[in-house]
Amino acid sequence: MHTAIIVEDMIDAMTLLKKDIETQHPDIEIIATAQSVVEAAKVLRKNQPDILFLDIMLGDGTGFDILEIFPDLKSKIIFVTASDEFAIRAFKFAAIDYVLKPYSNADLSLAISRAKEQLQPNKERLQILKETIAAPEKKPNKISLHTLDQIIIVSLDDIIRCESDSNNTIFHLQDKRKIFVTKTLKYFADLLSSHDFVRVHQSHLVNLQCISAYIKTDGGYLMLKNGENVPVSVRKKTEIIEILDKMHR
């Protein structure tokens, strides 16, 4: 049996979430609920649950205020938030589980399953999330990468390229490390599209700042600053040439 606390300022949303958890997940016991930062602080001082369902925007503050009050909180956190493009982007960069309102039972089940399996988000990952949500116009400069047994925080500047490996992605870093992540290349291509990364091939995503030259012969390929060569697909050639021209005007 797992214990849980729900922190949600909208009573209807809290009631629905509580009902869904009790109905769909009988192995989870809701031991308390709270509608504000003050209430949440009171209940968390008495009990620290296995799972904390945490809304971001509360009437007297934010979910982050609660986490600052309890910096050593051991609970697995599932953020519950209204649908927002910037919020979704922030959660993906921080690799922290979330449920979007309105959610389906499948969405809730997936978030709970992941929360049970994963490590507690550390302070640096939560800081990435907090900063990205607080300033959506500012691009994050770090990303959290899920491997099979850990979560690694990487600076975007340290990523040279990403390579597809079936439904997984291999990150090639400046220090020659390779990080194997269990998400598709398309997932990261979409996430990093506005961060100087470009999909140059079905199997390759490249950091534009790491390109030293585009070679037109042998089918067309990129020479990278670390000495590697990456092929450019036929349909991407014109786009890549235009991007490189704009960068060096």
Which residues are 142's β-sheet partners? Answer: 155
Q: Are strands 28-34 and 61-62 parallel, antiparallel or unpaired?
A: unpaired
DSSP state letters, 101-165? ES--HHHHHHHHHHHHHSPPP-HHHHHHHHHHHH-TTSPPSEEEEE-SS-EEEEEGGGEEEEEEE
Domain 146-247 grouped into CATH 2.40.50.1020: yes
Phi-psi map region of 138: left, alpha, beta (phi>0 left; psi -120 to 50 alpha): beta
From 57, 63, 55, 135, select the one nearest 103 (Cα to Cα). 55
pLDDT confidence bin for 1, thresholds 50/70/90: confident
From 20, 132, 44, 60, select the one nearest 52 (Cα to Cα). 44
The residue ranges of every structural domain in the chain are 2-134, 146-247
**Torsion angle of the four alpha carbons 32, 36, 37, 42, in this order, in degrees rounded to the nearest 10:** -40
d(CA 7, CA 43): 10
| Helix, coil or strand: residue 215 | strand
Which residues are 6's β-sheet partners? Answer: 33, 53
Task: Output the pLDDT for position 17.
Answer: 94
pLDDT confidence bin for 77, thresholds 50/70/90: confident
Domain 2-134 grouped into CATH 3.40.50.2300: yes
Q: Which of 133-137, 149-153, 179-183 has the lowest mean pLDDT?
A: 133-137
d(CA 216, CA 219): 7
Task: Give the residue with greater pLDDT, 200 vs 131.
Answer: 200
Task: Output the pLDDT for position 184.
Answer: 93
Task: Output the pLDDT for position 74.
Answer: 82
From 142, 137, 146, 147, select the one nearest 159 (Cα to Cα). 142
Q: Which of 77-91, 122-136, 214-228 has the highest mean pLDDT?
A: 214-228
Task: Output the pLDDT for position 119.
Answer: 56
Task: Output the pLDDT for position 150.
Answer: 81
**pTM of the predicted model, to two decimals?**
0.62
pLDDT of 130 over the 60 cut: yes
pLDDT of 120 over the 80 cut: no
